[in-house]
Structure formats: structure tokens, C-alpha cells
Amino acid sequence: MSLQHLKVSFFLAVRGLLRGSRGSLYLSILIIAMVFTNMIFMSSIIMGAIKNSEQSIIEYQTGNILVGPKENEQYIEDISGLLDKLNRIPGVIRASAHYSLGATLKNEGNRVGGTVIAVKPDDERMVTGTWKKMIEGEYLSDGETGEVIIGIQTSGHKDENDDMGPTLGYVRTGDPVTIEYTNGVTREYRVKGIFETRSYQADMEIFVTWNEMESVLGHPITDSTGVIIRTSPDLPEAQVKQTILRFGVQEEVKTWQDLLEEAFGRAIESFSIINSVTVIVSLVIAIVVLFIVIMIKTLNNRRQIGVLKALGVDKSIIINNYLFQVLLLTAAGTILGICIVEGMVGLLTVFPIVFPDGDVTPYVTPGDLISNTILLFIAAAIAGYIPAWRVASEDIMTAMRS
Amino acid sequence: MIEVIDLCKVYSMGKVSVDALQGVTLSIKKGEFVGIMGASGSGKSTLLHMIGLLDKPTSGKILIGGEDISTLSDHKKTLFRLKRLGYVFQDYALMPELTVEENVYLTSMVRGTSENEYLSQTKEILTRIGLAERSDALQSELSGGQQQRVSIARAVVNRPEILFADEPCANLDTVSSQNILDLFRKINHELHQTIVMVSHEEWHMEYFDRVIILRDGRVISDGPPVIRDHCIIRSPE
């Protein structure tokens, strides 16, 4: 196969497409664009939901790294010593200690079970973004007592239909809330603020200050149920985790990826199976559609193919002509498909899809576009080659008599 | 130039076999304008397809320029057709997506001729056949006679050793047919082009140097056309 032969094939392909049926040309491009969109879109939504979930967990719940009690222990001991150590480790922006205690919240006959988390607000502001998500009132301040901030899924929405579980029945800032702790202490609090992160898990949380929890427990807190850490965005969490371990931290240290693997490992695996099935089905559709398009083209052009062979045009030139046609159709379809995908990403960024774990926008990387484009081109090449080869392999007179 | 020796072609259609050619032997010299004539089903197109390497004979030999073409591989036959033969078909067989000019230079492109060369050759041949003005037209924009002239231009642009024409006037009116036959004769005289043409119109004999008449797959007559009282009656048997 010489360059000259490829040039002739390309010449015939371009003329065949541009001067053939316009309707069939546009329809073929549209079908390929739709197939490409289908290959990308479902997986982008799934990836968007996963990424959104990851971001919510990092931003509002665990930070980049979570330090928990040693195996078979309930608390991290000497929390101030651990915090001092963690905050000195390169790559750690800030560590924030949590102390969680089970409780029942009451308001005007509504009861909600949950976990009250004690935080040091100044530390917490540097680790999570909950303080930026106050829809009413204010975030906690260091040292204050008698006040609580509550997530919207615990406080309740004005419209009950928006509640996804039991709530306190639309509690507002300044309202009183009674909390019965599992240690037997009952306290009356004023709601200082309501937050809404749009992550269901995060929006169920209830926070009080460290000082308030010390008051509930009746002694200074030297232990902790967990420490969350914000790491430098320039360093991978796994690297910072290794550094933490090298600094002699004995507690259980997990990155958010470790936690996700534990919590959602199966779900992510299922998502990737769904994603693979979607891509395979789309590719099969692409192969079948392109096969039919080229089959119809070659069958309609059987006589022309016979004439070309009679004139001394090599079989490979004829096959490559149709191969180029299908690849050009695929290129045009892919470009249109990328435009459609980017348009949908833009649209869904402005008007996201509402999921329980937050607003989801499609997540498409250049790698996704490239890999799906390559897959589509391989499918197109197979779908174009087979019918072209079949017709081009006919003997001249059979083709010319058709 | 062309030697055909005891050529046979049998078409099998299910249990029925048809002897399209039954031991045809003939020779054609360089520069001759030969007409192959006969009634429908006489085997004239089959013979042309065999000599033109478009179909395979059941038995017999075909020598072109001393080379036994029946022993060539498919690839070599393709190259042989491209480099040494030219074809004009009954229904013109132009590529509908190509312009007049593109149809003419297509085989030159395949041969690897430089762009400048094939463009000037195409311009020259289109001028010669009077279609230079229509070089950008598509097949659908041409009359039957014009399409056949383009087909002839495509066949001769590479100066083939032999030009095969399979009933080139079958779809044309008398005036267009005369124009096409005049063009063939002009090409034959000016370029000393060997032409083998299949026809069933007796009045076409006037244009041929020699007429081979087939009946039931056998040559029944071979010689110059006989003209009586300005009217060609038939080749001598």
C-alpha cells in the first residue's frame, strides 16, 4: 500500500462524501455523535456523582485524612499532644479534633436521634467548609457554650417534602432545642445557625463547641473520637499519610480514598461495571450503524466498484476509500459529539442534577474524550472495513452486472 | 498484439451449463480497429471481457504482446489493466461523485503520474474531444453522448496499448453514435490506437478496419467489412 494509493483512496472518499447524498451524510454524522454522547454521558454523570460524593466527604466530613482510635480502642488519648504533633508535620495545613457523643434532639414534640460532634471552631474552620455553608445564623465560636448549629436535614425544611428523614420540624435560628445525651445529661440549647452543604450525610450533623462538650461531660476532654486533617493541595494525601506514620503516630490513619474504598468500594465497582456495559452497548450500536451505512453504500455502489476494478484500481484503494469515508464520518460525528457533550456539561453545570448527596454535574476529563474517541474509531474501522472488503472482493463481472 | 487460442467459456447456472465461447481463435494486430459483431447471445461481449482481463476463460490461451495473461495473478492483472488497457462501457460507467476532469485523471492518479502531468494530459484530451468547457461538470449534468466522450477520454488518457469498447453506442441516438464512432476512428488514425469494439449495429462496420462475427460462441467470419453501393451489408463469410 503506497502513499499514492492512500491519496487516491482519500480523494475518492472525500468526493464520495461531499457529492453523495447530503441527507445520508448528515444523518450518519448525527448518529455517530449520539453514540459518542451516549458513551460519554452516562459515565460522566456516574463519575460526577462519585466526584461530588468525594468532595462532600472531604469538604464537610473527613477532611483529606482522618485519624481514628487504635484498633479495639474507643478514643484517641492525649489529643492535645497528637494535635501538636500533627500540626507540625509537613503537608498538614491543620488538624481538628472531634469528640462525638450520641444524643436525642427534641423540639416541640419532634425527636431526632443523632450524634453531637464537639469541635474547636477555629481549628474546624481551617479543615472543613461547613462554616461557609450557613444558610441561617452564624457558625460556632471558640469558647462559647449553650449554642448548637444544626444541619438542614436535622433541623428540617420549611416544606416537609424536602426532608429526607425525621427532623426537628423546621427549627430556625434562635429556637430552643433540647438535647438528651447518652451519658444522661440533658441540656437546652439555642440554635445559633443552620447549615446546608447539599450532602445528605453532612447535613444531618449537629455541632457544639469543645467547651460545651466538656461541660456536658463534666471534665476537661483529653481524649478524642477522631481527628480530621486538611492537607496541602500540592501533596497527595497518601504521601502525607506516610509522613504522619513516619512521625510516629500510632493511631489509625486513613486518607479519604481509604475511607471511600471501605465505604463505597462495591458501589464504585458496580458503577464501573455499569459504565463498561454502557460503553460496550454504545460501541455495538456504533458498529452496527456504521456497518449498515457502509453496507448500503457499498451495495449501492457495487457496479461502480466493479468499474473501478475493471479500470485497474487496486482492491486496497477501493477498501480504503470506504474506510476513509467511515473514519471521516466518525471524525465529524465525534467532533459534533464532543460539542454536544461539552454543551450538556455546560448546561448541567448551570442547572445541576439534584442527587441526595448534592448537586451533580457531569465529570468529563480529556482522557475520557480521548479514550472513547479511540474506541469509536476502532469500532468504525471494523464496521467500515468488513462490508467494503466483501464487496471489493467480488469478481469484476459479478459486481458490474449488479 | 493479441493472440487468442482455442478460447472456451462455460457459464454454469445451477445444473445448466451454457457454452458462451467454443474454441475461439483469432489474432489482432497493433493499430487495428476491430469490430466484434454478432447477434445477442453470440458471445461477443464474453470474448471482449476475456481479452480485456475482466473475466476468466474456462480454457484456452490469451497472449497480449506475447505475454500469456491467463497465468497472471489477480494483482498483476489489475496492474496490466491499469497500465496497458483502456475500457469504454455501454453505460459509460463514470463515477457520479467525480467531475468530468476527475473521472478522466482518476486512473492517472492511481498510476502515480504527477499532478501537473495528469492535469495537462486531461486538459489536452478534453480539448481534443470538445469537452474542455465542461471539465467541472458532474455526470448528471451531461448528455449521454457527452458522458460517452468522457468515458473515451478516461480510457485513452494514459495511452493504453489496447482500447476495449463494449457496445459504446447502445444507449445513444444515431447522431451521437456517429460522433462517438468518428471519435474512435480519429483516435485510431491519429494515435494509431488499437481498438477492439463490440457492436451489433451493422452500420458501424463502416468504421472498422476488420470485422469478426460470432455465432453461438464461434467465429463464423473474420475480415474487412464488405461495402456494396455505399451500404455495408456484412463481412464476408
pLDDT in tens, A178-231: 999 999 999 999 999 999 998 888 999 999 999 999 999 999 999 999 999 999
SS (H, E, C) A140-151: CCCCCCCEEEEE
- Residue A15: list chain B partners with CB under 8 A: 95, 97-98, 102
Lowest-confidence segment of A41-45, A259-263, A366-370, B122-126 by average pLDDT: A259-263
Using DSSP's 3-state secondary structure scheme, residue B28 falls into strand
- Residue B79: list chain A partners with CB under 8 A: 312
User: Taking CB atoms and an 8 Å limit, are B78 and A8 in contact across chains?
Assistant: no
User: β-pairing, B16-28 with B218-223?
Assistant: unpaired
pLDDT in tens, B13-31: 878 888 899 999 999 999 9
Q: What is the rounded average pLDDT of the residues B228-233?
A: 46
pLDDT at B24 (0 to 100): 94
The reply to whether the predicted model has a pTM over 0.80 is no
Lowest-confidence segment of A164-173, A261-270, B39-48 by average pLDDT: A261-270
Residue located via cell numbers 450538556? A344
Has residue A105 got a pLDDT over 90?
yes
Lowest-confidence segment of A71-75, A263-267, B108-112, B188-192 by average pLDDT: A263-267
What DSSP line would sit under A103-160, residue for residue? EEEEETTEEEEEEEEEE-HHHHHHH-SGGGGEEEE----TT--SEEEEEHHHH--SSG
pLDDT at B230 (0 to 100): 46
Residues 6+ apart with CB under 8 A from A48: A353, A360, A361, A362, A363
B95 touches chain A (CB under 8 A): yes
**A-contacting residues of B 99-138, CB under 8 Å?**
102, 106-107, 109-110, 112, 138
Using DSSP's 3-state secondary structure scheme, residue A168 falls into coil
Distance separating alpha carbons of residues A49 and A56, to the nearest angstrom: 10
Has residue A385 got a pLDDT over 70?
yes
Choose from B64, B95, B111 for mutation: most chain A CBs within 10 A: B95
Contact A163, A153 (CB under 8 A): yes
Task: Give how far Cα A266 sits from Cα of A61, A64, A201, B181, Å.
Answer: 21, 21, 19, 80
Burial of B81 (0-12, 13-18, 19+ CB in 10 A): buried
Contact B172, B94 (CB under 8 A): no
pLDDT in tens, A31-50: 899 989 988 888 888 888 88
Has residue B124 got a pLDDT over 80?
yes
A396 touches chain B (CB under 8 A): yes
Q: Find the radius of gyration of the CA atoms of chain A.
A: 31
Q: What is the rounded average pLDDT of the residues A321-341?
A: 94
Distance separating alpha carbons of residues B75 and A281, to the nearest angstrom: 39
Phi and psi torsions of A98, nearest 5°: -120, 145
Lowest-confidence segment of A81-85, A328-332, A379-383 by average pLDDT: A379-383
pLDDT at A24 (0 to 100): 86
Task: Give how far Cα A291 sits from Cα of A236, A276, A296, A297, B84, Å.
Answer: 46, 22, 8, 10, 36
Q: What is the rounded average pLDDT of the residues A331-354?
A: 92
Q: Complex ipTM, two decimals?
A: 0.89
Instruction: Give the containing element (helix H, strand E) for B115.
Output: helix B115-128
Distance separating alpha carbons of residues B183 and B33, to the nearest angstrom: 12
pLDDT at B237 (0 to 100): 43
Q: Using 50, 70 and 90 to split pLDDT, how confident is the model at B183?
A: confident
Please indicate, yes or no, if residue B19 is contained in any of the structural domains. yes
CB nearest to A8's CB, from B85, B93, B110: B110
Distance separating alpha carbons of residues A185 and A376, to the nearest angstrom: 64
Residue B13 β-bridge partners? B16
**A-contacting residues of B 148-167, CB under 8 Å?**
154
A15 touches chain B (CB under 8 A): yes
Q: What is the mean pLDDT of chain B?
A: 88
Task: Give how far Cα A197 sits from Cα of A23, A151, A316, B30, Å.
Answer: 49, 8, 61, 92
Contact A179, A104 (CB under 8 A): yes
Instruction: Give the containing element (helix H, strand E) for B4.
Output: strand B2-13
Please indicate, yes or no, if residue B45 is contained in any of the structural domains. yes
Task: Give how far Cα A75 sits from Cα of A220, A262, A342, B178, B219, Å.
Answer: 14, 21, 48, 108, 110
Q: Using 50, 70 and 90 to split pLDDT, how confident is the model at B231?
A: very low
Q: Using 50, 70 and 90 to split pLDDT, how confident is the model at B205?
A: confident
- Residue A2: list chain B partners with CB under 8 A: 112
A381 touches chain B (CB under 8 A): no
Distance separating alpha carbons of residues B225 and A193, to the nearest angstrom: 113
Q: Using 50, 70 and 90 to split pLDDT, how confident is the model at A1?
A: low
Distance separating alpha carbons of residues A147 and A140, to the nearest angstrom: 8
| Percent of the residues in chain B that have a pLDDT greater than 90, as a whole number | 57
Domain boundaries, chain A: 3-57+263-401, 70-250
CB nearest to A304's CB, from B95, B107, B138: B95
What DSSP line would sit under A262-317, residue for residue? HHHHHHHHHHHHHHHHHHHHHHHHHHHHHHHHHHHHHHHTHHHHHHHHHTT--HHH
**B-contacting residues of A 245-304, CB under 8 Å?**
303-304
Q: What is the mean pLDDT of chain A?
A: 90
Residues 6+ apart with CB under 8 A from A163: A153, A156, A157
Output B1 or A325, whichever has higher pLDDT.
A325
Please indicate, yes or no, if residue B214 is contained in any of the structural domains. yes
Distance separating alpha carbons of residues A206 and A228, to the nearest angstrom: 16
User: Taking CB atoms and an 8 Å limit, are B106 and A8 in contact across chains?
Assistant: yes
Count: domains in chain B: 1
User: Taking CB atoms and an 8 Å limit, are A311 and B112 in contact across chains?
Assistant: no
Q: What is the rounded average pLDDT of the residues B58-71?
A: 90
Task: Give how far Cα A125 sits from Cα of A131, A138, A144, Å.
Answer: 6, 12, 15
Please indicate, yes or no, if residue B205 is contained in any of the structural domains. yes
Count how many pairs of residues, chain A against chain B, have C-beta atoms within 8 Å: 73
- Residue B83: list chain A partners with CB under 8 A: 312
A171 touches chain B (CB under 8 A): no
pLDDT at A288 (0 to 100): 87
Residue B69 maps to which CATH number?
A: 3.40.50.300
Choose from B109, B161, B162 for mutation: most chain A CBs within 10 A: B109
pLDDT at B227 (0 to 100): 58
Angle between helices A3-18 and B100-111 (to 10 degrees): 160
Please indicate, yes or no, if residue B153 is contained in any of the structural domains. no
What DSSP line would sit under A182-206, residue for residue? TTS-EEEEEEEEEE--S-TTGGG-E
Residues 6+ apart with CB under 8 A from B45: B166, B167, B198
Distance separating alpha carbons of residues A186 and A177, to the nearest angstrom: 11
Task: Give how far Cα B175 sits from Cα of A188, A259, B144, B179, B209, Å.
Answer: 112, 89, 11, 6, 21
Distance from CA of A303 to the nearest CA of B (A): 8
Q: What is the residue range of B16's domain?
A: 2-93+162-234
